[in-house]
């Protein structure tokens, strides 16, 4: 029985080239600033995003957290979309560690936020009874919206409102390379109007661990201090950073395969009676759908027994394509899902 793991792109395994680079990596003590592989990775990342500097951190959550800690002070407020990972899936860390409150605003279907909603969320600057609005946090692509890619113009439009009101702008770009590939644009065009961005090495790029924060030199200096406060300083981490170097060199364009597989998966699933799926929303590597009658647990269990792992929430089911999932896996998944839904309908 095959094991096809579609729970997330975080389950992707490093490529043979990554494993070789990790085994042969030149390393030093990162906390002393003399690990050459980490330095090389950070310089590559900063250049790709058109930023002055970059910082290697253990995880995407830490990347977002140190960015918010650097941009804000306790008692201030940040604006986030109601679908944001920072709001839904980071354990309230920004409130615990940064002491900031979150003002949530509606996301549109593509993940963007209407400019009038941003303006309404900004607190009057001279009202001592209200928190000071300091930061607008965006996500690209939004995981909860099928990884829909936000184009540069949309980011620029939202960021302009923030800048007009003296706010910083941070982008949670966990899957920003998926956006760049889907839109066929350089990553730097997606962050030209923002102050900082975090992206994951351990999702579509298939590294075993790690994320990168990019910003100007002063921002990265302070972000590094916060990373160390949080216990994120590392030693001979060049062994891991070496995988990131290979990923930025060879794994970005490959993501187009994941998008093609996701599109084939969505198309096949959409033809199954009893499943509800918006094909137009599938633009990158995330496919979300629903099962009639709320039979999510039964479908998940059937697929698990067939060697397919997927993620599920109370309503949605989610499949994510990634490195290591091929076209044959997609065909098998479609067929087994059809069997699962048919079995459930017949049993009723």
Across the range 72-96, mean pLDDT stands at 95
pLDDT for the residue 289: 95
Q: Which of 28, 38, 60 is nearest to 197 (CA)?
A: 60
pLDDT for the residue 315: 78
| Whether pTM exceeds 0.85 | yes
pLDDT for the residue 344: 79
Sign of CA dihedral 144, 145, 148, 152: negative
309-332 pLDDT, tens digit each: 999 987 799 999 999 999 999 999
Across the range 233-262, mean pLDDT stands at 97
327-347 and 296-305 are packed helices; what angle lies between their axes, rounded to 10 degrees?
A: 130
Report residue 229's pLDDT band, with 50, 70 and 90 as the boundaries: very high
CB atoms within 10 A of CB 304: 12
Report residue 252's pLDDT band, with 50, 70 and 90 as the boundaries: very high
Sign of CA dihedral 114, 189, 47, 90: positive
Cα 39 from chain centroid (whole Å): 23
Cα–Cα distances in angstroms (integers) from residue 315 to residues 294, 309, 312, in the given order: 7, 17, 7
Which residue spans within 126-220 are E strands per DSSP?
133-139, 168-172, 196-200, 211-215
Position 346 pLDDT exceeds 90: no
151-180 pLDDT, tens digit each: 999 999 999 999 999 999 999 999 999 999
264-278 pLDDT, tens digit each: 999 999 999 999 999
CB atoms within 10 A of CB 188: 17
Across the range 174-202, mean pLDDT stands at 98
Q: Which of 244, 317, 219 is nearest to 56 (CA)?
A: 244
Instruction: Report the percentage of the chain scoring pLDDT > 70.
Output: 99
Cβ-in-10-Å burial (0-12, 13-18, 19+) of 159 comes to buried
Phi, psi for 172 (deg, rounded to 5): -80, 95
For the chain, which domains are there?
15-250 (3.40.640.10), 254-347 (3.90.1150.10)
pLDDT for the residue 206: 98
Across the range 93-118, mean pLDDT stands at 96
Report residue 218's pLDDT band, with 50, 70 and 90 as the boundaries: very high
Q: Distance between CA 182 and CA 241 in Å, rounded?
A: 26
pLDDT for the residue 1: 65
**Mean pLDDT for the chain overall:** 95
């Amino acid at each position: 029985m095959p094991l096809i793991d579609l729970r997330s792109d975080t389950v992707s395994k490093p490529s043979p080239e990554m494993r070789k680079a990790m085994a042969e990596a030149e390393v030093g003590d990162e906390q002393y600033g003399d690990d050459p592989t980490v330095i090389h990775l950070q310089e590559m990342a900063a250049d790709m995003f058109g930023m002055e500097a970059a910082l290697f951190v253990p995880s995407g959550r830490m990347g977002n957290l140190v960015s918010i800690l650097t941009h804000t002070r306790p008692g201030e407020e940040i604006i986030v979309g109601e679908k944001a990972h920072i709001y839904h899936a980071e354990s309230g860390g920004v409130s615990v560690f940064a002491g900031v409150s979150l003002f949530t605003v509606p996301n549109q279907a593509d993940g963007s936020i209407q400019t009038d909603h941003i303006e309404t969320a900004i607190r009057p600057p001279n009202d001592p009874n209200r928190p000071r609005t300091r930061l607008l946090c965006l996500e690209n692509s939004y995981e909860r919206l099928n990884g829909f890619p936000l184009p540069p113009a949309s980011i620029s439009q939202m960021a302009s409102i923030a800048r007009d009101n003296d706010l910083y702008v941070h982008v949670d770009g966990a899957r920003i390379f998926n956006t760049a590939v889907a839109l066929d644009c350089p990553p730097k065009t997606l962050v030209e109007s923002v102050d900082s961005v975090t992206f994951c090495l351990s999702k579509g790029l298939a590294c075993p661990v790690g994320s990168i924060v990019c910003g100007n030199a002063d921002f990265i200096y302070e972000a590094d201090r916060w990373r160390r406060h949080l216990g994120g300083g590392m030693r001979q981490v060049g062994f891991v950073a070496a995988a990131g170097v290979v990923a930025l060199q060879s794994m970005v364009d490959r993501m187009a395969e994941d998008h093609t597989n996701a599109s084939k998966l969505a198309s096949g699933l959409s033809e199954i009676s009893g499943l509800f799926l918006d094909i137009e929303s599938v633009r990158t590597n995330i496919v979300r759908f629903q099962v009639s009658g709320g039979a999510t647990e039964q479908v998940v269990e059937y697929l698990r027994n067939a060697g397919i792992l997927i993620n599920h929430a109370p309503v949605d089911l989610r499949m994510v394509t990634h490195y290591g999932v091929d076209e044959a896996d997609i065909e098998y998944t479609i067929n087994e899902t059809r069997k699962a839904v048919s079995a459930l309908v017949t049993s009723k």
